[in-house]
Structure 1
Amino acid sequence: MSLTKQAVAALPAASTPEPVDQGLSIHRRDRRLGTTLTLSGEIDLDTAPQLDRAVRECLRTGVGTIDLDLAPLTFCDVRGLHAFIDATWLAAAAGGRLRLENLPPMLHRILTLTGTHHLVTTGTDEVLHNLALARPGMSAGTRPPAAPGRAA
């Protein structure tokens, strides 16, 4: 069946599509020493409850260490930030631990601008903590000394 020129002309003009809310997708991968939840898309007022449910389910099933892989995250607003802080506290209250891994630059910026970096644990924090344990006299907030011949 072919359309005539007259039928095509009678079709309504195509409108500009509205932006589509990408939503949030959470993929769970259980490991021997914990679980990784990979968050893809946007975390905001509408999608933050999904993270809460996923973290609670991990804790309910006995998972003690939860890593949130945030590399595929494309958007985070203040409600998303609040969800990360809540999830961190929820895990700690249950005797577990939650870490934010692979933070996108926009999330680093949000943590810095809001002064909330200290309320969550990131993979970078873990590296600095392990360095502090390995090198006496170095605290988690201290950078390793510069190599000989280089300025600190």
Structure 2
Amino acid sequence: MTDSQLYQANRGCYRFESRAHAERYVLFSAEGVIRQALRIDAIVPAGPYEAVEGEILAPGDPVHDTYVTRPSPMNGVRGVVTYLDGPSTVPVPRCACGCGEPVGYGRFRPGHDSDALYERVARIGTVQDFLRWFDRVHPATFESPTS
């Protein structure tokens, strides 16, 4: 299977425990071997179940390199969805706003994306000032309504 086919075949539909929403990564295995690692960006409704959405990790990523093509650390577990306990061997991702706080999944702590955006808008001035500046720096192919 291609990476995309493996992702589509394994991303859902599951009945996750509340604990799943704090997880950052998911591992997909077959025949006792990890075949793919995914950074979780969201857990979304899928009918009466849920599914994971995220980025397929590639060689060079610490999670990929730790687990993919290696024996599953969850061999002998009966459930479809299980959780690894204990300290992680991979770095904890930090909020992309620059605050340094850890994130569960995604790139920002809740609300930090909009806070970071508005802080940067304020550096320019008003929202209208920001739009004018942005349109000068990144001209669009259509006429801007702020011109």
TM-score, normalising length from structure 2? 0.25
The structure richer in helix per residue is: 1
Larger Rg: 1
TM-score w.r.t. structure 1 length? 0.25
